[in-house]
Amino acid sequence: MGVDLFFVISGFVISLSAFSRFQPGHYAGFARGFAQARLARITPLYFLTGLVFIVFIQPDLVFVPDIWKQVLSHAIFLHSWFLMHQGGINGVNWSISIEMQFYVLIVILVPWLSRASKLLILVGALAIAWSWRAAMFALIDQTGKWATFPLFVYSAELPGMLDEFAAGILLARLIASDRGQRILRSTDVRKYAVPAAAVISVIVTMQIYWNNTTYWNSAWMVIAFKSLLALACVTVLATACLIQNRSVLLACKPFRYLGTISYGIYLWHLPVILALKRVSWVNGPTALPWVIGITLLFASLSWHFFEKPLMQRYAWRSEAS
């Protein structure tokens, strides 16, 4: 569910970025600049943590005869489409594959997304996502060697996640509009309506989930639940956008820093966990604070001394060109 929330947030922030960059009649410049910015943000740490994973966490991969296939599929961000590659190199990378494919989709569709009917975007995304997940549920045998894993892998491909990305895209369209700005300035809406909708949608969503935790055995859960989850996520995200109280924002400053380094937290946490699991005499509760501490340390160091300098260098070159 954390990844589902990530996809909704990504649909929101990436669309805001794309809409602000895009100017009709200047598509080529937009596409080049947007692609360079996304590659500069995502790929350096992605490749670094992948290399660390192969060399220090799972070095036996080096001696696999067709390891080049794994490396190639990860290098071009298509590994999520291959069952045996999906979690092959730093397992959390499966979502980065889908994320990068979403960026390509944004580059292609931004002229349409910036002006199309919001209802059309919503209906289209729901139709594609539900149809894809329904097809995967009908076609994939869950009684085989890998049980529900193939259904998880293929139902979570980009077509099956379009409802979650679309939720973020539609919120971005709203926030960027005059109507959205009026909502942001509306005291009553800010204090009551949107947070209330978020609380209700989260409670309803989680109640439905806990009553259907077998999940993969239920067609309607596989097909439709993620749309309900996307609604809950987008109402929470909208509530966050409405927070303007200075005291609250000041109190949230540490969490904003965690948000700044969150990409590193995500990519580093699994290598740290797997490394500490080798200490066989340490149990989970004992290892947990060390996992959190080391992951945060690595994420902070990689942000300040690796990711941020590369992004700043890229930004300077981009402006200079």
Residue 229 phi/psi, 5° resolution?
-65, -40
- The tokens of 261 are what? 């380094």
How far apart are alpha carbons 225 and 208 in whole angstroms?
9
How far apart are alpha carbons 17 and 307 in whole angstroms?
19
Instruction: Output the pLDDT for position 169.
Output: 97
- In 3-state terms the chain splits into helix, strand, coil percentages (rounded to 5) of 80, 0, 20
How far apart are alpha carbons 80 and 150 in whole angstroms?
11
How far apart are alpha carbons 100 and 110 in whole angstroms?
15
Per-residue burial over 268-291, b if 16 or more Cβ lie within 10 Å, else e, is: bbbbbbeebeeeeeeeeeebeeeb
Of 309, 319, 300, 306, the C-alpha closest to 36 is 319
Q: Which residues lie below 8 Å from residue 180, measured CB to CB, with a gap of 6+? A: 173, 174
Instruction: Output the pLDDT for position 317.
Output: 54
Instruction: Output the pLDDT for position 191.
Output: 74
Instruction: Output the pLDDT for position 178.
Output: 85
The CA–CA distances, whole Å, from 119 to 37, 80, 167 equal 30, 30, 11
What's the distance, Cα to Cα, between the start and end of the chain in Å? 40
Measure the CA angle with vertex 297, ends 288 and 263; round to 5°: 90
Instruction: Output the pLDDT for position 193.
Output: 87
Q: What is the block-wise mean pLDDT of the chain (321 residues), using blocks of 10 residues? A: 95 94 89 90 96 95 92 96 92 96 96 94 98 97 92 97 98 89 76 90 97 94 97 95 88 94 97 95 94 98 95 63 42
Q: Say which residue the tokens 């961000």 belong to.
A: 77
The CA–CA distances, whole Å, from 153 to 2, 6, 42, 229, 238 equal 16, 17, 22, 18, 29
Instruction: Output the pLDDT for position 242.
Output: 87
The CA–CA distances, whole Å, from 68 to 51, 65, 82, 187 equal 13, 8, 14, 57
Instruction: Output the pLDDT for position 115.
Output: 92
Q: Helix and strand tally (H, E) in the chain?
A: 16, 0
Instruction: Output the pLDDT for position 179.
Output: 84
Q: Say which residue the tokens 């260098």 belong to.
A: 313
Side-chain half-sphere of 274: how many Cα atoms within 13 Å? Answer: 17
Q: Which residues lie below 8 Å from residue 161, measured CB to CB, with a gap of 6+? A: 7, 98, 102, 129, 226
Q: Which DSSP letter does residue 89 get? A: S
Q: Can you say whether the dihedral through the CA atoms of 152, 142, 145, 139 is positive or negative?
A: negative
Q: Is this model's pTM higher than 0.85 or not?
A: yes
What SS3 class is residue 177?
coil
